[in-house]
Amino acid sequence: MNFTENIKIALNAVRSNILRAVLTLLIIAFGIMALVGILTAIDNAIFSLSDNFNRLGANSFSVFPARDGVSGNRKGKKAKRADEISFKQAMAFKDKFDFPGKVSVSMWCTGNAVVKYEKEKTNPTVLLDAVDENNLYVKGYEIEYGRNFTEIEVENGSNKVIIGKDIVETLFDDKPQRALQKVIAVGNIKYKVVGILKSRGSSMNQSDDRRVLIPLMNGKRYYGSSKKNYRIGVAMANSTDMDSGIAAATGLFRNIRRLKASQENDFRIFHSNSLVEIITENTTNLRMGALIIGLMTLLGAAIGLMNIMLVSVTERTREVGICKAIGATKQNILVQFLTEAVVICQMGGIVGIILGVLIGFGVAHAMDGNFVMPWNWIGLAVFVCMVVGIVSGLYPALKAAKLDPIESLRHE
């Protein structure tokens, strides 16, 4: 018998005991679903996070004040909280950082601004940032219509504004050309629209398009205070200089913060790839857990499949005798029953793969990320199903192959 005949016989055997085969198939499917689904969900979650963080700019890093204190809790003394980055410190860094690249200084103003134009207005959920002329480049934003702020507008605090696509959709009926050069009100302050950002969609369940940017000095004038933190972003001209740039930024900012050689950094430098690398490393145990869960479920499926194959051998003893009587060898019988076990496993595997991929797609959709087809996990699932089928079907197949043809023909 050739391979095609074995497949046909296996499918006929499945059809003749459809309920029993389907129940076993479903157990295998749920095991593969757990295996592929969890692994796919993890991969897509990491991919979505990586995509979101890379929107900061592929070659960029940011400087933040340390949040965990700058000194140990020694001799009963409570750890000191790091000071915010002041406007003076941020501008000093921008002036003195001479590594190839661009430095941006920005300030978060509010997350509940209301933007108005004539009779139209937004909900109080608009993000308002005060930025300099380098911010768009460092953060990876693009201007779709209009222009960026000029250096003079930033220094003078001009009443100019760059708005996101959601603002255009709400106030200007989604017509960007109509929005340019119009005067809108952000809170109680009026600004002239000079630019419209290219849509970037949602990031971490928050729309990047529901954003308004104003010149840095304008934001400092209306939203600044002595406790206000200023954000520093650096975009390197070449990604290969990232480590050297971070080292240079660390040394420079230590001098600006006037830290002694014995003092630890009271600031931290965040690189867009750092958190993704940490998350990827920490998901190793999660992946191992997914493998164990899937394999435990498949172990139960393997036992069930072996039981079904043993019953099938008993029910088809006379059939085996007839096959041997007309010339079938032990090897033919062995391959036939092994093929049947593998076919049942692979059918269950296909159902499990489809369900697992759908779970991964759901996770990617929930995170507003892009779905990545898990070809590696699909390949693993097919291989595991093959192994389970062979292991589960081997003993029943050997038992069928060893049946005496005369005794088998007498079997009722």
**Structure tokens, 327:** 């010339």
Query: Which residues have CB under 8 Å from 222's CB, separation 6+?
Result: 109, 189
Confirm if 71 and 264 have CB atoms less than 8 A apart.
yes
Measured CA to CA in angstroms, residue 287 lies from 51, 252, 292, 293 at distances of 21, 41, 9, 10
Sorted by sequence, the CB contacts under 8 Å of residue 243 that are 6+ apart come out as none
- CA–CA distance, 309 with 370 (Å, rounded to integer): 42
Measured distance CA(72)–CA(133) in Å, rounded: 39
φ/ψ region of 265 (left if φ > 0, alpha if ψ in -120 to 50, else beta) reads beta
Say whether pTM exceeds 0.85: no
**149's tokens:** 């702020």
The answer to whether 96 and 181 have CB atoms below 8 angstroms apart is no
Say how far apart CA 229 and CA 347 lie, in whole Å: 59
The 3-state secondary structure of 226-243 reads CCCCCEEEEEECCHHHHH
Q: What are the phi and psi torsion angles at 99 (to 5°)?
A: -75, 150
Alpha-carbon span 149 to 192, nearest angstrom: 12
Q: Are strands 206-207 and 202-203 parallel, antiparallel or unpaired?
A: antiparallel
The pLDDT value recorded for residue 287 is 76
CB 178 within 8 A of CB 118: no
In the chain (412 residues long), the average pLDDT of successive 10-residue segments reads 72 76 82 81 71 60 74 48 87 91 93 92 93 91 93 94 94 91 94 93 68 95 90 84 87 92 88 62 73 77 81 78 79 83 87 87 72 82 87 85 74 60
- Cα(230)–Cα(367) distance, rounded to whole angstroms? 29
Cβ atoms of 58 and 137 within 8 Å: the answer is no
Q: What is the pLDDT of residue 272?
A: 62
Helix (H) or strand (E) holding 119: none
Residues 276, 281, 286, 291: is their CA dihedral positive or negative? positive
Nearest to 397 by CA among 334, 309, 344: 334
Query: CA dist 379 to 26, 36, 284, 285, Å?
Result: 19, 10, 19, 21
Which amino acid is present at 253? Answer: F
As a whole number of Å, the end-to-end CA separation of the chain is 26
| Residue 130, beta-bridge partner list | 107, 214
> How far apart are alpha carbons 149 and 348 in whole angstroms?
59
Q: Give CA separation, 261 vs 217, 250, 254, in Å.
A: 34, 13, 9
**Angle subtended at Cα 335 by Cα 332 and Cα 339, rounded to the nearest 5 degrees:** 140
Q: What amino acid is encoded at 182 in this protein?
A: K
Ramachandran assignment for 72, one of left (phi > 0), alpha (psi -120 to 50 degrees), beta (any other):
beta
Pairing of strands 126-131, 211-215: parallel
